[in-house]
Structure 1
Amino acid sequence: MYKIKLINILFVVNFLLWSSFSATASSLFPEIVGVKTVFYYDSARLRPLVGNIYYPVDKNIQGEDKADPMVHAKEAKNAPVKRSKEPYPLIIISHGYGGSREHLSWLAEALTNAGYIVATIDHFGNTASFDTPKIALQRWLRPQDISAFLDNFLKDPEFSSLIETNHIGFAGYSLGGLTGIWLAGGIADQFTKPIVGKSSIYELARDATEQDVDSIDYDQALKSYMDARIKAEFLMAPAHGQSFSTKGLKNIHIPILIVVGENDKVTPPSQHADHYAKSIPGVKLDLLKGNVSHYVFRNQIRPDKINCVSSFEFEVDPSVDIKALHEETAGLAIDFFNKHLKK
């Protein structure tokens, strides 16, 4: 009964917000965005690297609505990139546990509208469409995915000449935030083997067995996965604060802005964001007040598709205006990256 009532409430709230979104799109978000899906392969680790590239397009380019439960801008698939006198700065985005390259498209679209090319990637084995415990448990595969994707993307003849390689930023949500901490130079010196039946899903993995857990070499978590090409990071509700001591974070020296909801029960600020902010020199922390939970950073759901998605993973307090919160968060990200990546 509760679930039915919650879904009905979410339907009404989302309908009102989505109607507003459709009628008068915020100046932060484009009506049309260029999108191209790229397919690379990391032969050293036998991992596919699939990403969406979001980019500015000319005003005369037409876009199409995406057949998807989530709210997106109209997409101009494979359209030409808008010409620019200077190469574009690049932002690469990492999704959370069981997410996908689509789940943070609202942020990618806003950054594109602000003059960035944006890459969002799937972390193979820990996505909404393919989530397997043996891969998902190996969190350290994520920063390696980002570095391998950059290796390939920056050599892609279609995009290589368009990117200012000295102006690359990163944005990550939840486990994507952990990914960013590794890429920035953090050493997970307190990363421990999870325990089936005791550790939370954000330390463990869905449906993980003791055999799955025992099959993995957790010493891999203790290595450095720093990528010096990344010059600034915007992290939303970053996870795994418990995996890094203050000493393990001391070698991070790039600008980082962290945003997190005050009511986040999955990655409580006191255990994660606060620890990172206090331990990493110069980190800025923005606490989003009110009933802002962990899942507010995922895409907004179309009201007519609310029953097509997981009520758990997209559940948001009805009092929270998702559109306004995404606008606020996107504005913070744009201001941050403009300060640190734009010439």
Structure 2
Amino acid sequence: MTISGRAQYRTRVLHDESRRDLRDPSRPRPIRLYQWEPQPRPATPAPLIIVSHGTGGSGSAMEWLVGPLVTAGFRVVALDHHGNDFIDGYEPEGFLFGWERPRDISFTLDALAKEEMLGPVGAAGFSFGGYAVAALAGARVDSQKVAAVLAETIPLPEIPEFPGVLAALRKKVAQDELLIHIDRSGADLTDARIRAVFQVAPGWGPLVTSSSLASIQIPVEIIWGGADTIAPFHEINCYLAGIPAATGRSAGPEVRHEDFFDPAATNTKARDHVARQAATFFTRHLGHPCQVDRPRGHQ
């Protein structure tokens, strides 16, 4: 058990035998979990929120979003996405094969469901994680655009956490194997267990097909920063305009992408406000944690 601020979480690592470790193909893909439980634990399963971190981040760094959810009574699980988290280090596939992220989440839900009954499930993601949770709702990547990015026909913005990531990928992954991954990128990764999605400054919007966004039926809330140059509004709008039931708002005209993750950021009020909005959103769409599945006679 780890104590972080007022919230307590435990950490463990799952292994997905269907996919390989990016450093050692003889081993299964690792997925590290950070699990927060509401205290006291309710008699019936509390709604579960699963959280996906941003590029090069970690589930352990998402407590700014997790804290208000746990305080509201939700059960919360944040993930480390293999090859893209600062705990274990970086691999080029972790930055470029984003479609593996929603698979991490679905695998985690499968594992948790084997241990105990799941309550209603929601998903929240920041930046790269914003795409991942949208994919669980039905967003699908355009494989042709992915191929163009990897071929540098479509420019890839420089990634500060991994300069030269495309060159590193070409050095590591053979062309025939890369074609397999590109074909895999366009798969439908919808997970019917996800009932609501909360995106914060989501990435990858321009790579997602408009038809897949139009098919999303569950509630989606989208928050962005008015001064964000990493996930600017015209990219956020791919999701906002494309998802029929999506609602959204700016966190403020001065809010940058960094304000959501940088420990040195001074604009923590906006970040805290967004986290409280997430708790309100999930309470509205998943039910109050203390009231889920409560018999009518006890309401």
With normalisation by structure 1, the TM-score equals 0.72
Q: 1:258 to 1:246 in 2, by over 3 A?
A: same
Any unmatched runs of 5+ in structure 2? 20-27, 293-299
Say whether residues 1:101 and 2:59 are aligned partners.
yes
* Distance of 1:232 and 1:92 partners within structure 2: 11
Answer yes or no: is the 8 Å Cα contact 1:100–1:127 preserved in 2.
yes
* Distance of 2:91 and 2:104 partners within structure 1: 16
Number of positions where the alignment pairs a residue of Structure 1 with one of Structure 2: 265
Which segment is superposed worse, 126-135 or 97-106? 126-135
Q: CA deviation at 1:299?
A: 5.9
The structure 2 residue matched to 1:199, chosen from 139, 146, 156, is 156
Alignment root-mean-square deviation, CA: 2.3
Q: 1:34 to 1:211 in 2, by over 3 A?
A: closer
The structure 2 residue matched to 1:273, chosen from 236, 245, 253, is 236
* Distance of 1:228 and 1:262 partners within structure 2: 32
Q: 1:300 to 1:212 in 2, by over 3 A?
A: closer
Aligned-residue sequence identity (percent) comes to: 30
Say whether residues 1:36 and 2:10 are aligned partners.
yes
Q: Which residue of 1 aligns with 2:188?
A: 224
* Distance of 2:162 and 2:97 partners within structure 1: 10
1:1-343 alignment, distance < 5 Å: 32-45=6-19, 46-57=28-39, 82-129=40-87, 130-156=89-115, 160-161=116-117, 163-164=118-119, 167-189=120-142, 191-193=145-147, 194=149, 195=151, 198-201=155-158, 206-210=163-167, 212-213=169-170, 215=174, 216=178, 217-270=181-234, 272-298=235-261, 300-301=263-264, 316=265, 318=266, 321-322=267-268, 324-342=269-287, 343=292
Answer yes or no: is the 8 Å Cα contact 1:236–1:258 preserved in 2.
yes
Q: 1:260 to 1:52 in 2, by over 3 A?
A: same
Higher helix residue share: 2
CA deviations 1:207-264 (Å, max 9, x no partner) are 3244624642312211111111110010000111111232131211110000000011
What amino acid sits opposite 1:147 in the alignment? Answer: S
Any unmatched runs of 5+ in structure 1? 1-29, 58-81, 302-315
| DSSP-derived class of the 2:18 partner | coil
Q: CA deviation at 1:131?
A: 0.6
Structure 1 runs (4+) deviating above 4 angstroms are: none
Answer yes or no: is the 8 Å Cα contact 2:69–2:76 preserved in 1.
yes
* Distance of 1:51 and 1:135 partners within structure 2: 17
Q: CA deviation at 1:134?
A: 3.0
Q: CA deviation at 1:31?
A: 5.9
CA deviations 1:5-32 (Å, max 9, x no partner) are xxxxxxxxxxxxxxxxxxxxxxxxx962
Q: CA deviation at 1:338?
A: 0.4
Q: CA deviation at 1:38?
A: 2.0
Answer yes or no: is the 8 Å Cα contact 1:137–1:205 preserved in 2.
no
